[in-house]
Structure 1
Amino acid sequence: MSAPPRSFVLAYVGLVLTPLFWAGNAVVARGTVESIPPLSMSFWRWVIALAILLPVGLPGVWRHRKVIRQRLGSLLALATFSVAAFNSLLYYAAVTTTATNIALINATIPIFVALLAWLLLGDKTRPLQILGIVLALLGIATVVARGDLAVLTGLQAQPGDLIMVAAVFSWGLFSVLLRRQAVPLPALTFLTMQILLGTLIILPFYLLDVFFFSGGFEVSRQTALPLAYFAIFPGILAYGFWNHGVHTIGPGRAAIFMYLTPVFAAVLAGVFLGETLGMPHVVGGLLILAGLILATRPGRSPLPAQR
């Protein structure tokens, strides 16, 4: 039997590394949120990513400037829900919830996309997909409630869990808008514009936070390294690996690798943060996994991976 083509090997390696990088995003955020305020984390992550991308992305932006000018409104809306809102909310969630919870709730993004596509776009939803959505939502409730129904009925959930649900909802809106307002740009040009516009959207909120609330952070090795990680690994590399994997092996097979994110997060959080898995995590995680399998049957479109 001949060896698999190099592109397929790279695709599978990249698709394993992508959820590892996404899991690391939650774990590193949780570990450094005491020294880097969430908005600073979000803003400087994208500034660094933009500085890396601009030399290769700017020529495409110039070539496609007419399309960009015509579709600027759509690009702004997409950047608001993805680069600006999703990541900022995720980092705010890290203040009051665990990396494991962030990853488990984050894993339900396909569920929110399917739900919002049904509500806003009128997508047909099969009975199995409806069952999958219900199971995954029950899984989220189990994780948020920490196995105690009184947490939900008494509105005592951790703020970070609810903020993370809002982040996932924001990414779902981005995904639905991406289908409704598709912008005909090459992947690199689109990514460059999303990061550029998203960074500009975050800027005024970041400045307000620095001058009136958090006071910013001290630049040191302990703060610079996490920011570099956010920019390079879950930002640029994960995006490139994901898109190469989807293009090479197809969206159905690639989507399976998303299920590794909470697994990696649980392991990393246990090793580096001392987080432990309780029964609510196990039960909620299994419900979420079952829901994802049912709701993301082969043939559904892959999710944008700009996280």
Structure 2
Amino acid sequence: MASSQSFSKSTALAYTGLVLTPLFWAGNAVVARGTVQDIPPLSMSFWRWIIALAILLPFGLPGILRHRQVIRQHLGSMVALATFSVAAFNSLLYYAAITTTATNIALINATIPIFVALLAWLMLGDRTRPIQALGIGLAVLGILVVIARGQLSVLTGLQAQPGDLIMVAAVFSWGLFSVLLRRQAVPLPALTFLTTQILLGTLIIFPFYLMDLFFFAGGFELSRDTALPLLYFAIFPGILAYGFWNHGVHTIGPGGAAIFMYLTPVYASVLAGLFLGESLGLFHIVGGGLILVGLLLATRVKRPAFRKADD
């Protein structure tokens, strides 16, 4: 009976966490869009990870020391993984927030499984069934509708918002991370892996942050209006979303967990409407519908789980 109750609590926690995780990811886009004029993107990315590292290090450092030989043996792989996930993904997402909406960021971000499937086919030779290929095609078409804002002339005239294209690059970067994670799996416990990735990713961002600080965007004024967003980035879409996501995948499987990713643009559109005054256009509905159908088709076959370490 105790075992059954424990299982029920674990399952309830998994579903609760999977409902909250896309809410935290959506909040990442909305808060970034709302504060990117006050905090430069690279500052946003760097200090987010500094705060997350300060929180995690007391718990993760013993594992790093215990598994330092494994880390040393796989250092090249871990640097590559940290570059595409911790360093590149969120830095690009925050740059995208300068010139595109939180709703667009969330819609494009929701296509991560599509990019993972596409890159796994190209780089790992994963077999793609016709129904999955159709799903990938529909999702890509949905992305183009969102980027073009429903106007073909935007694409033909190369007038797309830079932020939309930067967000595509961010999702592509996360896809590379996910595929490399499968090809170059590192045998580390989850907390040790996450702490090491954040440590390496922060070190990779650091020189770019310094260049941006001294020669380009400059710094920002530390206040309640800038400190709270940074704390949110570090705790909610960073640490908590990662823990909830991995528990959900472990408990109900990657296929079941992936369904909850579809909530991200829904949450984002509501939050962006409430806090940023963004409104949904017809192109959001058409593009979002194509992306949703594409995701449902492309993820019908279960795939190996991939870590969501830094959104």
What is aligned with 2:128? 125
Q: Secondary structure at the match of 2:278?
A: coil
What is aligned with 1:20? 23
Q: Compute the displacement of 1:125 (Å).
A: 0.3
What is aligned with 1:55? 58
Write the distance in 2 (CA, Å) between the matches of 1:120 and 1:9.
37
Superposed counterparts of 1:101-120, under 5 Å: 101-120=104-123
Question: Of residues 149, 160, 163 in structure 1, which corresponds to 2:152?
Answer: 149
What is aligned with 1:269? 272
What is aligned with 1:166? 169
What is aligned with 2:221? 218
Contact 1:110 1:303 in 2 (8 A): no
What is aligned with 1:180? 183
Q: Secondary structure at the match of 1:95?
A: helix
Q: Secondary structure at the match of 2:38?
A: coil
TM-score (norm. length: structure 1): 0.98
Residue 90 of structure 2 corresponds to residue 87 of structure 1 = yes
- Give the counterpart letter for 1:140 in structure 2: I
Write the distance in 2 (CA, Å) between the matches of 1:294 and 1:301.
17
What is aligned with 1:301? 304
Q: Compute the displacement of 1:281 (Å).
A: 0.2
Residue 259 of structure 2 corresponds to residue 284 of structure 1 = no
Contact 1:86 1:171 in 2 (8 A): yes
Q: Compute the displacement of 1:11 (Å).
A: 0.7
What is aligned with 1:30? 33
Which ranges in structure 2 are unaligned for 5 or more consecutive residues? Answer: none
Contact 2:115 2:175 in 1 (8 A): yes
Write the distance in 2 (CA, Å) between the matches of 1:247 and 1:183.
18
Contact 1:67 1:184 in 2 (8 A): yes
- Give the counterpart letter for 1:205 in structure 2: F
Write the distance in 1 (CA, Å) between the matches of 2:83 and 2:300.
29
- Give the counterpart letter for 2:13 in structure 1: L
TM-score (norm. length: structure 2): 0.97
Contact 2:255 2:303 in 1 (8 A): yes
- Give the counterpart letter for 2:299 in structure 1: T
Q: Compute the displacement of 1:40 (Å).
A: 0.2
- Give the counterpart letter for 1:152 in structure 2: L
Aligned length: 306
What are the superposed Cα offsets for residues 54-81 of structure 1, whole Å, 9 maximum, x if unpaired? 0000000000000001110000000000
State the percentage of identical aligned residues: 81
Residue 73 of structure 2 corresponds to residue 70 of structure 1 = yes
Contact 2:181 2:306 in 1 (8 A): no
RMSD: 1.0
Question: Of residues 4, 9, 16 in structure 2, which corresponds to 1:6?
Answer: 9
Contact 1:255 1:302 in 2 (8 A): no
Contact 2:27 2:268 in 1 (8 A): yes
- Give the counterpart letter for 1:278 in structure 2: G
What are the superposed Cα offsets for residues 154-209 of structure 1, whole Å, 9 maximum, x if unpaired? 10000000000000000000011001111000000000000000000000000000
Write the distance in 2 (CA, Å) between the matches of 1:262 and 1:14.
17
Q: Compute the displacement of 1:303 (Å).
A: 3.0
